[in-house]
Amino acid sequence: MTEEQEDEQFYRDTESVAFPKLDDHQLSLLEPLGQRRVVTRGDVIYKAGARDLGLTIVLRGEVEAYEQRDGTEQILATARERDFIGDVAMLQGTSALASVRVISLDAEILHVPASELRRALAEIPDVSKTIVDALIMRRRRISRDREFAGMRVLAQRDERLGHNLDDFLDKNRIPHRLVTFESEQGKALSERFHLTNRDLPVLITPAGRRLRQPSLREVAHEAGLLRPLATGNENEILSDLTIVGAGPAGLAAAVYAASEGLNTVVLESYAPGGQAGSSSLIENFFGFPTGVGGGYLTWLAQLQAYRFGAKFSTPSQALSLQYNGNGEYRACLDIEGCPAILYAKAVLIATGADYRRLDAEGREQFENMGVYYAATAMEGQLCRNETVVVVGSGNSAGQAAMYLSEGAARVLLVVRGKDISSKMSDYLARRVQSRENIEILYQTEIRKMSGGKKLEQIGLENTQTGERKTVRTQAVFSMIGAKPCTEWLPPEIERDEKGFIKTGTSVAGAPAWQANKHQPGPLETSLPGIFAAGDVRSGSVKRCAAAVGEGGMAVAGVQIRLASSS
Ligand SMILES: Cc1cc2nc3c(=O)[nH]c(=O)nc-3n(C[C@H](O)[C@H](O)[C@H](O)COP(=O)(O)OP(=O)(O)OC[C@H]3O[C@@H](n4cnc5c(N)ncnc54)[C@H](O)[C@@H]3O)c2cc1C
């Protein structure tokens, strides 16, 4: 089947989910939440770029959604009686990607405002399933649509800033295209909008606005990702639970906390999804026998959290945390770019860890397609009887090399320094050195990675002699350490020797607990009411499912602490 035929089949198969008709019962549940309006041909119901959209249900007549782009129009969908107009932007609160207008002589619509819609989606299962499934499917169809533009990033080929904007929109799942300045389309766009290469990169919005060399915050603002957490002139934001970090741990906690009625704020410094968001295929996540894209999995979790009313703003980095153990609001947090102070009765730190990345040309392209950060049975399977490369000289590198050497034909251990015994335990270093199919390449670094969809070969350089060689391999295990994202926390939050946050019994002797009548919960830190979950926690297992489990478990601990202090 050609790609076009596959697309056609996909659109046919998903039509009924994406465009369902609401039945009498569903209409009767939505009617009291909205207002009826009679509109006439040409009336615009909303324009691309509008925020906080409500749901528009057509009761009579015809309306259409269209994208206006560089003087041409593309019709995206037509809605008739019992159809509703909308997109995932309604759930997320992000900007509308398209405009909607009336095309019949007149029409009657029911408009359900955004706040009422969110309440209905959280509380009325009879309507929420149909609507949420449709909104998600519409976004999947749009992402597949080669004609649809959404946001456009015009940038020079191989230009870092342009690729940064592309990555940011990608990870935040905002439909967009990267148009290279050098392409035919790029030339036409720059001529039309009088753009020169000094303006690049440029963000062109669906409403036709052009932002020259925008910062990520400006892009986030335009896309509707960056939303004010405070309303009006408020200089204080109050929350029951503030979750810092929206990787799997933070997202799972957001779903549980918001669904249990806690006023939940989620701060994320780059894009919800965290490390899992950059994994193209997670093969060991419970319930997905053929694997699931990490970005897709965490996007669904994010929508689930929105549906229950969790408040997100991206990018919003937590800069500091101050603790007041005696107050109802125990913590106050300073947020990047936000003049208001965020107060929280409880805080969950789910900021994860940054794996140190190999500084080799082409590495990004092979993340999880040849570059791995863990050597488990799953990765071991991928390289049976092959040559594999492990980089690093610590215990994790030694353990990975030993483990992989059981199935692989040959393991190359690439070490930057002159020996392995300074960082690796003696017994492990001896085993590694004596294993027949492990070869240690000292004073060596990977300079280049290349291949097609998957990694095929790497270029190595001996930093002492300058000698270069190429090795054919499908797997590089990067074991050069991970750094927990904890620099912003006060010293009273105890950490282990590597900076990971200690929790549970290991902090029972901390001064704040000594002065407290309770014991710390399993995921509670040395400050009562402040929790940690996922990769940032000392002793965590650095797996997606474990982070999700800890996120859910932390919320149970939060509920106990809130109840004990009320
Ligand atoms: C390429 C890759 C592939 C992987 N593949 C698998 C796999 O196949 N199976 C598996 O089980 N695991 C896999 N993992 C590991 C798994 O993704 C992690 O264990 C999991 O994502 C940890 O979740 P977390 O929520 O604890 O932290 P993270 O995913 O690290 O998320 C933390 C979030 O916090 C944000 N943040 C950090 N500091 C701040 C701050 N000050 N303010 C606000 N936000 C902040 C970050 O931007 C990030 O989004 C993979 C990891 C990588 C990198």
Q: Which CATH number does the domain housing residue 375 bear? A: 3.50.50.60
Q: Is 114 within a domain? A: yes
Q: 369 and 345, same structural domain? A: no
The reply to whether 7 and 85 lie within a common domain is yes
For residue 228, being part of any structural domain is answered with no
Residue 230 lies in a domain: no
pLDDT single digits (tens) 411-449: 999 999 999 988 888 989 999 999 999 999 999 999 999
Cβ neighbour number for residue 168 with a 10 Å cutoff = 21
Cα of 550 to ligand 1 centre, how many Å? Answer: 13
Which letter does DSSP use for residue 207 in this model?
T
Ligand 1 centroid vs 422 CA: distance in angstroms? 29
Helix, coil or strand: residue 324: coil
Same domain, 240 and 276: yes
253 and 276, same structural domain?
yes
DSSP state of 316: -
Asked if residue 192 lies in contact with residue 286, where contact means CB atoms within 8 angstroms, the answer is no
Give the count of domains, the chain. Answer: 4
Residue with CA nearest ligand 1 atom 4 = 279
Residue of the nearest CA to atom 6 in ligand 1? 282
- Residue 229 domain-assigned? no
Taking CA atoms, 273 is separated from 170, 279, 292, 365, 456, in Å, by 11, 9, 13, 18, 28
Tell me, yes or no, whether 103 lies in a domain: yes
Domain boundary among 195, 223, 251: 223
Domain for residue 395, yes or no? Answer: yes
Residue where one domain finishes, among candidates 144, 178, 194? 144
Residue 419: domain span: 363-480
Token look-up 């093969």 returns: 283
| Residue 531 to residue 245: CA distance in whole angstroms | 12
130 and 44 part of one domain: yes
Q: Tell me, yes or no, whether 103 and 207 share the same domain.
A: no
Read off the tokens for 468: 């270069």
Q: What span, in angstroms and rounded, lies between the C-alpha atoms of 347 and 243?
A: 6
Based on the fold, state whether residues 57 and 135 are members of the same structural domain.
Answer: yes
Write down which residue in 177, 197, 223 finishes a domain: 223
Are 191 and 248 in the same domain? no
Distance, first Cα to last Cα, the chain? 63
State which ligand 1 atom lies nearest to the alpha carbon of 271. 49
What Rg do the C-alpha atoms of the chain give, in angstroms? 26
pLDDT tens series, the chain, 566 aa: 788 888 899 999 999 999 999 999 999 999 999 999 999 999 999 999 998 889 999 999 999 999 988 778 889 999 999 999 988 988 888 999 999 999 999 999 999 999 899 889 888 999 999 999 999 999 999 888 888 878 999 999 867 788 889 989 999 999 999 999 999 999 999 999 999 989 999 999 988 899 999 999 999 999 999 887 877 667 889 999 999 999 999 999 999 999 999 999 999 999 999 989 877 778 788 999 988 989 999 999 999 999 999 999 899 999 999 999 888 999 999 999 888 999 999 999 999 998 889 999 999 888 878 998 878 776 777 788 999 999 999 888 998 999 899 999 999 999 999 999 888 889 899 999 999 999 999 999 999 999 987 899 999 999 999 999 999 999 999 999 889 999 999 999 999 999 999 999 999 999 999 999 999 999 999 999 999 999 999 999 888 999 999 999 999 999 999 998 76
Do 218 and 342 belong to one domain?
no
Q: Rounded distance, CA 408 to CA 386, Å?
A: 5
Judge if 422 and 395 occupy the same domain: yes
CATH of residue 15: 2.60.120.10
Closest of 488, 487, 486, 529 to residue 320, by C-alpha: 488
36 with 115, same domain? yes
In a shared domain, residues 241 and 321: yes
Which tokens hold the place of 441? 């390449």
Residues enclosing ligand 1, CB less than 6 A? 244-250, 267-270, 274-276, 278-279, 282-284, 317-318, 350-353, 355, 367-368, 373, 485, 488, 534-536, 542-545, 547
